[in-house]
Structure 1
Amino acid sequence: MTSLPSTRTRRFSTGRARPFFWEEAARDWQVRRVERRRPEFCEYIARSLRAVREGVGQEAGTAASMRTLHRVFLPDEGADLLDDAYVAEHYALTLFGLHQHAASELVHQSGIGLGTACLRLRQSEALTQSAVERRLTAAATAQDLHELAQHLQRLVPLLARAGVGLDYTRLFWELARWDGPERNRTLRAWGLQYTDPGIPLPRSGEDEDEHGAGTGREPAPYWTTFGPGGEMGAELAALGSGTGREAGTVAAMWAFYRTRMTFELRDKGALTRDLAAEHAALTLFARHQQTHVRPMHVAGNSPGTAAGLLAKKAAADGAGKSATVALHRRFGVLLTSVDVDELVMHLRSLIPLLNQAGVALDYDLLRNALRTWDDPRRPGTATFFRQRWDRDFHTAATS
């Protein structure tokens, strides 16, 4: 992605440039409301809204009527490509025009991310939950900025009809960074916003209510509630699609996260240790559970216990002492993992063996290990798990 020149970034961040057009429109609307005048736009804003709607379906920079509404400048005449920011602003302008055209109230609402907007759309019951999620997932899986804009063009009129607004300044920056590494944070923010349970996290010392709210206790993780059923295969496939991907960036997995987070962390798409650990555990469980009806989550089976049972089973099946030695060597490499990423890599090679042998694993314990293995605030944690799991291995293999 072509980064914005530093001077242009400074102009936006210091406010010395003109506000974005949708911000000007919001200011005009609010002034008229304060003055208790009829809630409508002035002639300049109304004419400009017609101009941006004319740009729908056109390439950025080709709609002459929109050029005065851009706040990102066109590149030099000799440039072969437009800046991502200019193209993003073109799409943001046209989306705002479509959204505002179908609405009776101001649609630029500061602080409302796309995930939150879709959550409100679902809560309005203007569309079914599955219909909302199909549209949000389509946007989240767009391969490039142009495809994303096409999906959003079909979504914003639905938001307008349900009376749901959107922060277009925020959307502009998300569009501008879509084809770069910041896409992951955007996706995570959309998913966490959309799945926000709306239950505030507790203050220190607060008591639990009858529903478990107010204590910070997380809902039961997926692996503890898993049971055979018609959707089992689809759910495991959805979880498996997140293997090797950053937590929160796979739309198919959004519904399966149970990690509790503050609204502020959800809203900005923070990648916390808790979320990353749950994500890794979910993808490992999906691989482990494949082809099995009996749950592969069993409390008390640490990775050491599971590997030891696997070694014992191999010896009983006639593989001999060499199989036990080989598994112990493989498990020893796992124990030397210096960080969580390396630990997950070794677990991915162990899980298929456990799956094949039908040996279960305690995923609550595993998630806790993934959460704290390389946490600098807990320097002795990895050593504790190494010693415990090594002891568990020998106990299970020789009992």
Structure 2
Amino acid sequence: MSSAATTGGKRRRPYFWEEVCSGWPSGPAEQGRRGLPAWAEHGLRAVREGLGREPGSVAGMRYLHRVELTDEKRNAERLPRSYEAEHAALTLFGLHQHGAAEPVHRPGIGIGTACHSLRLHLLRETKEMEEVERRRSDQEGGTNGSQSLLFKDTVGRRLFAVSTALDLDELVHHLRSLLPLMRQAGVGLDYTRLHCDLCDWQTPRHGRVLRAWGLQYNAPAPEGAEGAKGKSGSPPAYWAGFDPDRPHAAAELAALRSGLSEEPGTVPAMWAFHRLRMSNELRDRGALTRDLTAEHTALTLFGLHQQGRKRSLHTPGATPGAACRRLLAQDGGPDRVAVERRLGTLLTSLSADELAHHLRGLVPLLRKADIGLDYDGVRQAVRDWDDPYRPDAQSRWRAKWERDFHRESSKV
């Protein structure tokens, strides 16, 4: 068998799924599936036998593991996390590959990317089914309309279940429900990456895994492509198109508030509301960038601010300084000293995290007074506040907000 390079320069034996992929016969898809080597067929049967079984309990799978066990580890109360994760990846690969005409191990395709491709496939399939049923209904003079199944939410719901799993067993259980759909749609998965993700589940690296999945799944359409919005192809921010009268508006705001005090990109309920463009490399790494942190902060603050309000409180041009000035102008509002003290602590924030903390304290006062904020500006300010490559940005934001606060009320 061949070997593969590791990050440390050492050589390792390829994982079983990598060996199956490299040993797949060339030629037509159906012919290739029938021409699999005997060792691959035997191994695929063995890993399917491991579904629902304890790691290390299936004799036929033991030689397929590449995570080595010492006698001490084998006799320990619990097997190493990496071994349990490899068992899960092997069994999922066996289920995915079963009956597939092509190798399902696709290097570079993460869970989020695979689910994104599956969602697009099912949407196209649904549109085709609806068109066929519409034509049939027109021919038969029917009035029942389309009766096709709408798949567009199915993948998202299943990915949400996967992403909120509390342990490895629950995670694998939910992944099993996705794999038959992926196989039917011809969507593959990078099982080496999946093995790494399973190893990192419920560890300090858990957030990176979730962030990568969410960024991949919610990747916006490329600029200029069908579905891209805006003059430059950038989709507008969620708050810019928010309609309080939408049927699910309250549920959407609750999803945004669930991200308060959480690490950006790690809240599956919020994934659908991000509009950030990011390179594929950063998405795949689950990178925690300044832009992602700023958008997350603005989304959670907007969810808190908009709660229970009948009009959109995203108000272009309304800076925190201008909003505090309007707060003073209202009858029965807080006294000037209290407002000046709150704005002062906001303006003297030393970091973006501190700025977000003080904004979170201001927003409930503005909501109570029905005063809006410019969330495009909030996002940009949080993004720039402590950026070492923009050393003058913080002072510019401070000066603008303070100037807006002291402006004559008639001009606010």
Q: Normalising by the residue count of structure 1, what TM-score does the alignment of the two structures yield?
A: 0.88
Structure 1 12/326 Cα, relative in aligned 2: closer, same or farther at 3 Å? closer
What is the alpha-carbon distance in structure 2 between the residues aligned to residue 175 and residue 86 of structure 1? 10
In the other structure, the counterpart of 2:68 is 73
How far did residue 395 of structure 1 move?
A: 2.2
Structure 1 106/15 Cα, relative in aligned 2: closer, same or farther at 3 Å? farther
How far did residue 217 of structure 1 move?
A: 5.2
What is the alpha-carbon distance in structure 1 between the residues aligned to residue 221 and residue 235 of structure 2? 13
In the other structure, the counterpart of 2:142 is none
Contact 2:257 2:304 in 1 (8 A): yes
How far did residue 102 of structure 1 move?
A: 3.5
How far did residue 226 of structure 1 move?
A: 0.8
Contact 1:102 1:161 in 2 (8 A): no
In the other structure, the counterpart of 2:190 is 167
1:281 aligned to 2:298?
yes
In the other structure, the counterpart of 2:238 is 222
1:359 aligned to 2:367?
no
Spell out, residue by residue over 1:345-371, the C-alpha distance to the aligned partner (whole angstroms, 9 max, x if none).
111111111111111111111111011
Structure 1 199/11 Cα, relative in aligned 2: closer, same or farther at 3 Å? closer
What is the alpha-carbon distance in structure 2 between the residues aligned to residue 304 and residue 78 of structure 1? 65
In the other structure, the counterpart of 2:321 is 304
What is the alpha-carbon distance in structure 2 between the residues aligned to residue 300 and residue 262 of structure 1? 30
SS of the residue corresponding to residue 129 of structure 1 reads coil
Stretch moving more, 162-171 or 32-41: 32-41
What is the alpha-carbon distance in structure 2 between the residues aligned to residue 19 and residue 215 of structure 1? 47
**Correspondence list, 1:138-287, <5 A:** 138-200=161-223, 216=232, 218-227=234-243, 228-287=245-304
SS of the residue corresponding to residue 33 of structure 1 reads coil
| Count of residues paired in the alignment | 377
How far did residue 270 of structure 1 move?
A: 2.0
Stretch moving more, 380-389 or 171-180: 380-389
How far did residue 238 of structure 1 move?
A: 1.1
Contact 2:220 2:275 in 1 (8 A): no
Structure 1 292/209 Cα, relative in aligned 2: closer, same or farther at 3 Å? same
In the other structure, the counterpart of 1:60 is 55
1:114 aligned to 2:111?
yes
In the other structure, the counterpart of 2:137 is none
What is the alpha-carbon distance in structure 2 between the residues aligned to residue 223 and residue 11 of structure 1? 44
1:336 aligned to 2:336?
no
1:347 aligned to 2:364?
no
Spell out, residue by residue over 1:148-192, the C-alpha distance to the aligned partner (whole angstroms, 9 max, x if none).
111111211221111111110010001111121222122121112
Contact 1:312 1:396 in 2 (8 A): no
What is the alpha-carbon distance in structure 2 between the residues aligned to residue 148 and residue 248 of structure 1? 19
User: Which of structure 1's runs of 4+ aligned residues deviate more than 3 A?
Assistant: 9-15, 34-38, 208-217, 396-399
- Identity percentage of aligned residues: 50
Q: Normalising by the residue count of structure 2, what TM-score does the alignment of the two structures yield?
A: 0.85
1:33 aligned to 2:44?
no
1:103 aligned to 2:93?
no
How far did residue 398 of structure 1 move?
A: 9.0
Residue identity in the other structure for 1:191 = G
In the other structure, the counterpart of 1:124 is 121
Residue identity in the other structure for 1:33 = S
Contact 1:144 1:179 in 2 (8 A): yes
Contact 2:214 2:265 in 1 (8 A): yes
Give the superposed CA RMSD: 2.5
What is the alpha-carbon distance in structure 1 between the residues aligned to residue 333 and residue 366 of structure 2? 17
What is the alpha-carbon distance in structure 2 between the residues aligned to residue 136 and residue 37 of structure 1? 30
What is the alpha-carbon distance in structure 1 between the residues aligned to residue 304 and residue 231 of structure 2? 32
Structure 1 213/171 Cα, relative in aligned 2: closer, same or farther at 3 Å? same
Q: Which runs of 5+ in 1 are unaligned?
A: 1-8, 201-207
1:92 aligned to 2:92?
no
